[in-house]
Amino acid sequence: MNFTIETSNHGANPRHVEDYLALLRLLVEAAGHQSENPPGSPGACHIFVEYFNRRHAAAIEEIRRAGAEVIIVATEFLTGQTGDGEEVTGDRGQGTGKRGQGTEKKPVTCNLSPVTSFNDFGGDRSAGHYGNQGYWRSRFENFRACARHAKAIWCASDDPEQISLYQTLVEKAPVVPLPFPHFPGYAPVEHRKDKEIDLFFWGSQTGHRAATMKRLSTRHAVSFPGFQAEALRRDLVARSKICLNLKQGPSWQFPSKMRYWYHLSNRSFLLGEECPRRCELDRYVPTFAPDELDSACHGLLESGEWGRLAAEAHERFAADCPGKAAAEELFDRSFR
């Protein structure tokens, strides 16, 4: 089967989703399919990473009208809370515990939240567009309009509640957890033997993250560049001893599964802030409570154990999470 991995909905510079584009290509090819199709290839299935405006819904409807399939990767979190969002009605399986077999239909409110927008997940609402609820409400509405035409939704979160909320929202299309497995040969970072950066973080510069990095910089050499070109990130990772996964706000609940995958794939040592909710890659990443993070970083830098731990985590990740098997299961569940 042929696939087009779309970037048209992310503008001229889709650097915020570069890792997703790489992961999707690897999954398509590991499952034995073709991904080198130009946009509009006849019969190709189009894969979109979520980020839509109103015109994208019309474009996706046109793709379906031409007979091609569409898959959407859902990257954001549905809050599932009432009072601030869009209501969708789904069969919640009252009385039996199984979806679709209950007698009562219960409205479920699902807000497409960004990684720091809604207080439900402890985000920093002062950080740029993350606090713009009108933007996120519009983005949710556009996602829902596009999702009506999807063959499947690939959910970047493996959190059971998120899978359930997305399934309630889209109803008919299967919602399948997007796997983040190991692919032999995928390791774009070439590590340097002499690393002069002690602690590195790459991502949105929220207040919580900036305060954490400023505090760590009083004892260590840190790098906190925000989003830059991928070549710069590879260079900084190659020069860094410890890479960090920092929450977007003090009470943020979810780890960044994509950040975990990128660093595990590249044999980087990743250390994270502990989050209330976990993901399947947590077992390869040591995490600490915020008030323990400074001492954990200092101890690992002093001992030099970060190099050995990085190698061990990568070996376990590679053994436990083979890319081919994960890719084949993903496509089987999406197209059966």
Whether residue 188 lies inside any domain: the answer is: no
Q: What is the pLDDT of residue 139?
A: 87
User: What are the CA-CA distances from residue 269 to residues 192, 200, 279 (Å)?
Assistant: 13, 10, 18
- Residue 190, domain member (yes or no): no
- Other beta carbons within 10 angstroms of residue 174's beta carbon come to 15
Contact 45, 22 (CB under 8 A): no
**CA 50, CA 16: separation in Å to the nearest integer?**
12
Q: Which two tokens stand for residue 234?
A: 């590879």
Angle at 33 between CA 150 and CA 21, to 5 degrees: 65
What the block records as the tokens of 9 is 């909905």
Q: What is the DSSP letter of 127?
A: S
Phi, psi of 181 (to 5 degrees): -95, -175
Q: Are residues 68 and 168 in the same domain?
A: yes
Strands 197-200 and 86-91: unpaired
Alpha-carbon gap, residue 179 to 75, rounded angstroms: 13
Decide if pLDDT at 308 tops 90: yes
Q: Determine the straight-line distance between the first and last CA of the chain, rounded to whole angstroms.
A: 14
Average pLDDT, the chain: 85
Q: Could you report the per-residue pLDDT of 124-164, keeping only the tens digit for each?
A: 555 566 667 788 888 889 999 999 999 999 999 999 999 99
Give domain status of residue 145, yes or no: yes
pLDDT, one tens digit per residue, over 14-62 is: 888 999 999 999 999 999 999 865 655 667 899 999 999 889 999 999 9
- Residue 119 has a pLDDT of 33
Note whether 12 and 124 are same-domain residues: yes
Same domain membership, residue 162 and residue 35: yes
Residue pointed to by tokens 């979190």: 77
Instruction: For residue 272, give the CATH number of its domain.
Output: 3.40.50
**Same domain as 210, residue 154:** no
Q: Does residue 292 share a domain with residue 240?
A: yes
Q: Which domain, by its residues, includes 312?
A: 197-320
242 shares its domain with 229: yes
Cα separation of 176 and 327, whole Å?
12
153 and 29 within one domain: yes
Other beta carbons within 10 angstroms of residue 117's beta carbon come to 26
pLDDT value for 6: 92
Among 207, 225, 206, 233, CA closest to 15:
233
Which are the contacts of 253, defined by CB distance < 8 A and separation ≥ 6?
121, 122, 275, 276, 277
Do 160 and 255 share a structural domain? Answer: no
Tell me, rounded to whole angstroms, the distance of Cα 313 from its chain centroid: 20
* Total number of domains in the chain: 2
Query: Is 174 in the same domain as 235?
Result: no
DSSP letters spanning 87-107: EEEEE--TTTSSTT--S-EEE
Question: 266 near 19, Cβ under 8 Å?
Answer: no
Query: Is there a domain that residue 247 lies in?
Result: yes
Query: Do both 141 and 207 map to the same domain?
Result: no
pLDDT in tens, 152-202: 999 999 999 999 999 999 989 999 999 999 999 999 999 999 999 999 999
E strand segments, the chain: 3-5, 45-49, 70-74, 77-78, 86-91, 105-110, 112-113, 152-155, 175-177, 197-200, 222-223, 240-245, 270-273, 287-288
Flag whether 165 is in a domain: yes
187 assigned to some structural domain: no
Q: Per the domain annotation, does 191 fall within a domain? A: no
For 257, the 3-state DSSP assignment is helix
Asked whether residue 105 falls in the same domain as residue 247, the answer is no
Number of CB atoms found within 10 A of residue 282's CB: 16
Residue 293 lies in a domain: yes
More confident residue, 236 or 125: 236
Shared domain for 209 and 312, answered yes or no, is yes
Residues paired with 64 in a beta bridge: none
Predicted pLDDT of residue 114: 37
Q: Is 327 helix (H, G, I), strand (E, B) or coil?
A: helix
pLDDT value of residue 83? 33
Average confidence (pLDDT) over 83-112: 37
pLDDT beyond 70 at 94: no
Q: Which residues contact 55 (CB under 8 A, 6 or more apart)?
A: none
Residue pair 299/274 in contact (Cβ under 8 Å)? The answer is no
The token pair that represents 230 in the structure block: 């991928």
